[in-house]
Amino acid sequence: MLHAALYGDEAPAVILTYAWDRLLIDPLPGPRRAADFTGLEPISPAVWSVPAQARPVAPAGSTLPRLAAELPHTFALLDPYQGAEGLTRQLEDLVSHLEPESIDLLDVGGDILARGDEPTLKSPLADALTLAACCQVNASVRLLVAGPGLDGELPPDKVASLLGPVVHTLTARDADTISSILEWHPSEATGMLAATARDVRGTCEIRDAGLPVSLTDEGPRVHEVDLDDAISRNQLARAIMATETLDEAEAHSREVCGYSEIDYERNKALWLTEQQPTKLNPEAVLARLDQFEAEARTRGVTHTTFRRLTEALNLSGSQRDELRQLLISSRPEQYEAPLWRIPTVVE
């Protein structure tokens, strides 16, 4: 979406990203590495691409092959298992091989600007690793923050004071470039970013914890941020710069932040394995939905994500698509793509 807005559709991008789909798609905690896939293709000696024919090795899951099949861009695998130093080598190798015209480091929400000790912070490690690597690579990297506050991790007013100039405000036309992707991809932050670009406003409840996120006019804006300022603020990114393993980086996260997000995933994965799978009963699901919506209205919630609904209605991640199809077919007037609207009164 950002590439189409800033650079047009003529030349595709190389999108270097983690295979870290969390437990809704991937039952295994933490990110996936190259060995967790079949069918990868080398881009350079240190970097692999994930083409459409690639497949995660069971029981792992990944959205990257389907993204590669439906978008014109090249998806390259960011592998953090050799720590920030390994990521830096991957970046250096890719830059040397491709000689790109520009390099943008994109964060949705702004948690990449966190210190690391904020009580609302949930997933700082992935961002800190990338930031640490980008600050050490021998190339010019532009840091962009889209949708300040949309990840639900830092209060929007805290993020706003750290932002630089607006480089673009996303529009409905920009969002249309990925509209088909958001029909199935579970990313809540990207979904809300697209929704705000389509002028959806209100309060959206996300994640298993039901965090409230404000959908405002600031939502579709993309800001530039000084990379040096970000690294000087991010204590975790500075602490992990010399790490050579993901375990080392995790240990620093526990020291700086008081936890590791992968520990949370490990604990939740164990809990999920103990849950008995239930068949989706449409009548029962719609009754539970009515109750959820009534309670959400008392919290001032106007929208929610299908990820949040899946967990709130006690369904498994594998049932998200089935749930989505049921709700859209039953109550199409409440679907404000890609979010679900909570009616102000029972309709």
Give, in order, the Cα–Cα distances in Å from 250 to each of 84, 113, 118, 272, 305: 11, 18, 17, 22, 29
User: According to the model, what pLDDT value does residue 317 have?
Assistant: 83
User: According to the model, what pLDDT value does residue 278 have?
Assistant: 75
Q: Quick: pLDDT tens for 139-171.
A: 999 999 999 999 999 988 889 999 999 999 999
Is the pLDDT reported for residue 127 higher than 90? Answer: yes
User: According to the model, what pLDDT value does residue 182 have?
Assistant: 94
Indicate the average pLDDT of the chain: 95
Portion of the chain with pLDDT greater than 90, in percent: 88
Give, in order, the Cα–Cα distances in Å from 265 to each of 26, 157, 186: 11, 29, 17
Tokens of 286: 């719609």
Angle 192-257-229 from CA coordinates, rounded to 5°: 70
Residue 225 sits at φ, ψ, to 5 deg, of -135, 140
β-bridge pairing 221-225 and 142-146: antiparallel
Spatial CB neighbours of 10, under 8 Å, sequence gap ≥ 6? none
Domain ranges of the chain: 2-170+220-239, 201-217+275-347
Q: Quick: pLDDT tens for 21-63.
A: 988 899 999 999 999 999 999 999 999 999 999 999 999 999 9
User: According to the model, what pLDDT value does residue 5 have?
Assistant: 94
Kindly report the number of other CB atoms within 10 A of residue 320's CB atom: 20
User: According to the model, what pLDDT value does residue 277 have?
Assistant: 66
Measured distance CA(234)–CA(255) in Å, rounded:
14
Is the pLDDT reported for residue 83 higher than 60? Answer: yes
User: According to the model, what pLDDT value does residue 347 have?
Assistant: 53
Which amino acid makes up residue 317?
A: G
Q: How confident is the model at residue 346 (pLDDT cuts 50, 70, 90)?
A: low
Cβ-contact 104, 222 below 8 angstroms: no
- Helix pair 261-273, 246-257: axis angle to 10 deg: 100
Is the pLDDT reported for residue 175 higher than 80? Answer: yes
Return the closest-CA partner of residue 189 out of 169, 173, 207: 207
CB burial string 79-106: b at 16+ within 10 A, e below: bbbbbbbbbbbbbbbbbeeeeeeebbbb
Cβ-contact 211, 345 below 8 angstroms: no
Tokens of 48: 């692999």
Spatial CB neighbours of 279, under 8 Å, sequence gap ≥ 6? none
Mean pLDDT of 309-323: 90
Return the closest-CA partner of residue 108 out of 23, 196, 14, 212: 196
Coil, strand or helix: which one is 33? coil
Return the closest-CA partner of residue 144 out of 167, 125, 162, 169: 167
Mean pLDDT of 18-22: 93
Cβ-contact 312, 295 below 8 angstroms: no
Give, in order, the Cα–Cα distances in Å from 26 to each of 31, 57, 265, 296: 9, 11, 11, 28
Q: How confident is the model at residue 10 (pLDDT cuts 50, 70, 90)?
A: confident
Weakest mean pLDDT among 51-60, 151-160, 197-206, 258-267: 151-160
